[in-house]
Amino acid sequence: MNKFTGSALMAVALLALVGCGNSNDTAAPSSASTSATSVATPVPTTTTPAGPVAFVEWAKTADLGTKDPALAGDDQLLSIGNSGCDLMSSAPSFGWAVEQMVKELKETQVTAGEMDGWLRQSVINLCPQHKVLLP
C-alpha cells in the first residue's frame, strides 16, 4: 500500500464514524502547528496490557477534533487504529504520518497533538512492529 492510500484509508475511517456526532460544532479551526516533532503526547497509565482492548479504552476518552469517539463502537475504533497501522507501514516517519492525517482531516479540526495520540496508540497497541518510527 502506498503512503497516500494509507492516509486516505485512515481519513475515511475517521470521517465515517457512525454515531460520532460533532462534539464542538462552533470550535474555531486550530492554529496549532502540524509539526509532530514538537508534540509530546503522554501515554496513559493503565492496568490493561497493550493490545486491542487497551486501544479501545484509550480511544473512548481521546479527543478527535469535532468527532466524539466515545459514541463509536469498538469495531469502528479498531478500524481507525488498524488504518493507522496501515499508514505507518509505509510512512517515512511518524511526524510525516501525523502531518498527512491533519491535512486529510482538516474539516474535523483535528490537531497535531490529537493525531499524534491516535497514531501513537495505534502503534503501541495494534502494530508494535512500527515502534521504531515513534519519536
Summarised one tens digit per residue, pLDDT across range 107-121 is 889 999 999 999 999
Domain count, the chain: 1
- Most confident of the ranges 31-35, 36-40, 51-55: 51-55
Question: Which pLDDT score, from 0 to 100, does residue 106 have?
Answer: 87
Question: Which pLDDT score, from 0 to 100, does residue 31 have?
Answer: 40
Residue 71 contacts residue 20 (beta carbons within 8 Å): yes
Q: Within a domain: residue 36? A: no
**Residue 63's domain spans which residues?**
3-14+45-133
pLDDT at 4 over 50: yes
pLDDT at 93 over 80: yes
The DSSP code sequence of 99-122 is HHHHHHTGGGT--HHHHHHHHHHH
Q: Within a domain: residue 124? A: yes
Question: Which pLDDT score, from 0 to 100, does residue 30 have?
Answer: 39
Place of cell 486501544: 55
Span of 31-35, 47-51, 129-133 with lowest mean pLDDT = 31-35
Residues 69-90: what's their mean pLDDT?
A: 94
Q: Within a domain: residue 72? A: yes
Question: Which pLDDT score, from 0 to 100, does residue 26 have?
Answer: 39
Q: Within a domain: residue 55? A: yes
Q: Within a domain: residue 118? A: yes
